[in-house]
Structure 1
Amino acid sequence: MKLDSTFLALTVSLVLTQPVTAQEKPQPVRMGCGAMTFDTVPGWGLRPNGESALGPTHGSVVIDKDGNIYTSAKKGVVVFSSEGTVIHSYLGEDFTDIHDMEIREEGGEEFIYGARNNNAEGIKFNIHGGEVALRLPFPEESGLKIDAFKPTAITVAPNGDVFLSNGYASNHIFKYDKAGKYLKHFGTKGNGLKEFNTAHGMTLDTRYDPPRLLICDRNHEPKGRLLHYDLNGEFIDEVITGLGMPTSVAIQGDFVSVPDLHGRLVILDKNNTIIAVLGNNPDPAKGSSYDIPQKDWVEGAFSGTHGSYWDKDGNLYVQDWNIAGRIMKLVRVE
């Protein structure tokens, strides 16, 4: 299914015009439409003094089975309660610059898989102890000669196979088994139907049986798109086009949230039809922008939307690519 960007402007989104500061207490903003209507939670995730708890963000969001929210920042991974209080963090060399994350329960334990673009690896660690259980470097046995290895996305198949996208470089997607053994690769850089121009985000699309890969082709010309591949790396179809710059995808039931770096989040239904657009930034100068200080944040308007995740109640947590470190909670309105 193909939709051009004109459709993306058709959204119900009420946006306050005053920037957010540590002294002000903005009111919730309602956004979206129909079954996908949400209220923002002003100040969620900020420290008691009103400052961001994160520092620069260029990462992802996941939620564990207890409902705790994990978001990756330049300095590491910060864990929040559902009320927005910092309860834990993973700091140090192993946890910096995690660009994308997936969370998975294995043998009664939960693990986070991360793609580290600045550290040229995929990583897996236990959330309860922070022990690194697996590292996925560039597989020399692939026989590829590439200029750089800068992983941007990671996801895991039901059998434990791991997919790692070299989205900031060659745009190959590498497949490893659960022990980290290289299996194969597919894709290459370009603007053709079966090529990627920044394979930036990826997840397991569980809306289908068997599940398949849902991949964000962020910079595909003329507009970003989503693609389906099977778990053997075979192209299935082009899901939707005209999405601006889709950065990541998160699934809950029949719905998909798709952050767009231009400063909005698109929600698709089971038919991959756009049913809501959230947080659309009316200022083109502030969409796709990293350098928006906290004093210039606008409640209900995103800037460089990068990661998202659903909780069990259908609420959304959204991270901006941002110099100060921004994460927002959107509460689903019944």
Structure 2
Amino acid sequence: MTKSKINRRTFINTTAKASLGLAIVPHFNILKSKPKMYDKVIGHGDFKYKVHKSWGDLDRTITPVKNCHEMVMDSKGRLIMVGDNTKNNILIYDKSGKLLDSWGIRYKGGHGLSIWNDGSEDFLFICDAKGESVIKTTTDGRELMILGHPSQYGAYDKKDKFKPTESAIGPNGDIYIADGYGANYILQFTKNGEFIRKIGEGRGTGQNQFQTAHGVCIDYRGKGEPTLLITSRAANCFKRFTLDGKYIEQINLPGAFVCRPVIHNENLYSGVCWSSDIDYIEGDKNTHPYNINPKSGFVTILDDKGKVVSNPGGTKPKYKKGKLQRMVQEQPIFRHCHDVCVDDDENLYVCQWNANKAYPIKLERC
């Protein structure tokens, strides 16, 4: 039995009812027709999937979306998604695609969503990139803590840009924030919001630097202490650090502009926002894949050794003399895969950015 399954069984499947907080507007979607399926199975090796493109479709007049940014699964098995439409920043689905609840009316830059259980209750951490803040809430929308601009904690100057894109919670409750659209540091706080340190050396191509530190997660796999996995999206890689900020290694994913790393059992999953046939030169807009090869996303899956084993929607992973070859979109199923959520049956739920206001897509494990 895996560690994740053991932890899942220890969760207490109740959450506290909020008496105060943001306006919460529950909606219940109308009966949906049978979801449309893509006519091919996608993926490679042991990781192949049937595509349910309309799994998450809802009534746009009631619960519209702009960008479906990220999704997590809570201890009740509900799928919780964050977006940047302030009519409903948070959508909560069951596994059939039925909408259970929606709330959130002020997160204009709703971008990152992490979940943490303290042993008795689930809590959400919402990154509002436009609001320059990270907000801890209950699963029904009551705000408990807000971490604002790092200048408030002596970490940045007031003039420094802060646009948080992701957060992760360490084993002791420490909060790690990826300033992916800002100064490109990882900021570490205690669970009570006290600033500890900056991790990395900001934007750049050095070993301790990031080119769009878009995501961060805690990796509990393997022996020894857990580590941080940090996205360097424009550099097509993940970088591994200790929890106190020391560089360990880099996992290269040529051609794939990966978003956050998502760990499930022994595997690592990530949405690829776009892919490129040529190398991107930092700061050169002409070489950016959004200008050269837009709408080119897929999903990538790595094993516990850091080897890519499947690219649903993308080219089959190939290694030559141990070196991973460039990966690009092969099938135009996705536009810009921004996140992947994995359920207990190892089905995937894919959120997309800039995809004509598309709802999440389900990939059913074959």
TM-score scaled by structure 1?
0.81
Partner of residue 148, structure 1 = 161
The letter of the residue matching 2:48 is: T
Among 23, 29, 48, the alignment partner of 1:37 is 48
The equivalent position to 2:78 in structure 1, one of 68, 74, 88, is 68
Query: Corresponding residue for 1:118?
Result: 130
Q: Number of matched residues? A: 291
Shift of residue 181 of structure 1? Answer: 0.6
1:212 to 227, 237, 240: 227
Kindly indicate whether residue 314 of structure 2 is the aligned counterpart of residue 280 of structure 1.
yes
Give me the whole-angstrom Cα distance separating, in 2, the residues matched to 1:147 and 1:323: 32
Letter aligned with residue 221 of structure 2: R
> In 2, are the aligned partners of 1:142 and 1:184 still within 8 Å (CA)?
no
Match of 1:84 in 2: 97
Residues 1:133 and 1:274: Cα distance change in structure 2 (over 3 Å): same
Q: After the TM superposition, which parts of structure 1 deviate over 4 Å for at least 4 consecutive aligned residues? A: 22-28, 49-54
CA–CA distance in structure 1, aligned partners of residues 171 and 234 of structure 2: 29
CA displacement 1:14-48 (0-9 Å, x = unmatched): xxxxxxxx99945553111222111112420112x
The within-5 A match list for 1:197-208 is 197-208=211-222
CA-CA distance at 1:212 after TM superposition = 0.8
> 279, 304, 307: which is aligned to 2:339?
307
Give the Cα separation in 2 of the matches to 1:59 and 1:74: 8
* Residue among 82, 101, 115 paired with 1:103: 115
Highest RCO, 1 vs 2 (Cα 8 Å, sep ≥ 6):
1
**Do the aligned residues in 2 keep the contact of 1:214 with 1:227 (CA within 8 Å)?**
yes
Which residue number in structure 2 is paired with residue 161 of structure 1?
Answer: 174
Match for residue 27 of structure 2? none
Distance 1:143 1:53 in 2: 38
- Structure 1: 5+ residue runs without aligned partners? 1-21, 282-286, 289-298
Indicate conservation of the 8 Å contact 1:257/1:266, yes or no.
yes
CA RMSD of aligned residues (A): 2.4
Judged with a 3 Å threshold, the aligned counterparts in structure 2 of structure 1 residues 234 and 323 are, in CA distance, closer, same or farther, namely same
Contact 1:77 1:96 in 2 (8 A): no
Query: One-letter code of the match for 1:170?
Result: A
Matching residue's letter, 1:328: I
Please state whether the residue corresponding to 2:76 is helix, strand or coil. coil
The percentage of counterpart residues that share the same residue type is 24
Residue aligning to 1:295: none
- Which moves more between the two structures, 64-73 or 201-210? 201-210
Counterpart in the other structure of 2:259: 247
- State the SS of the aligned residue for 2:309: strand
Write out aligned runs for 1:163-202 (5 A).
163-187=176-200, 188-202=202-216
Q: Secondary structure at the match of 1:195?
A: coil
Aligned partners of 2:156, 2:142: CA distance in 1, in Å?
A: 31
- Partners of 1:52 and 1:326 within 8 A in 2: no
Cα distance change of structure 1 residues 323 and 52 upon mapping to structure 2, 3 Å threshold: farther
Change (3 A) 1:258 1:143: closer
Residue 356 of structure 2: aligned partner:
323
Aligned-residue offset at 1:100? 1.1
Q: CA deviation at 1:52?
A: 9.9
> Is 1:137 aligned to 2:148, yes or no?
yes
Once the two structures are TM-superposed, the CA of residue 242 in structure 1 deviates from its matched residue by 1.2
Partners of 2:215 and 2:39 in 1: CA distance: 29
Q: TM-score of the superposition, structure 2-length normalised? A: 0.74
Indicate conservation of the 8 Å contact 1:152/1:200, yes or no: yes
Cα distance in 2 for residues equivalent to 1:78 and 1:144: 33
Aligned residue number for residue 6 of structure 1: none
Can you give the 5+ residue segments of structure 2 that lack an aligned partner in the other structure? 1-32, 275-296, 316-327
Q: Output one character per residue of 1:161-185: Cα deviation in whole Å (capped at 9) or x when no partner.
A: 0001111121011100000011111
Shift of 1:211: 1.1
- Structure 1 residues 216 and 30, CA, compared in 2 at 3 Å: closer, same or farther? same
Q: How far apart, CA to CA, are the structure 1 residues paired with 2:102 and 2:209?
A: 37
In structure 1, how many angstroms separate the alpha carbons of the residues matched to 2:350 and 2:249? 27
CA shift digits 1:228-280 (9 cap, x unpaired): 01110111111224152111111111101111111111100011101000123
SS of the residue 2:117 aligns to: strand
Please report how far the alpha carbon of residue 326 of structure 1 lies from its aligned counterpart in structure 2 after TM superposition. 2.8
* CA–CA separation in structure 2 for the residues paired with 1:311 and 1:151: 26
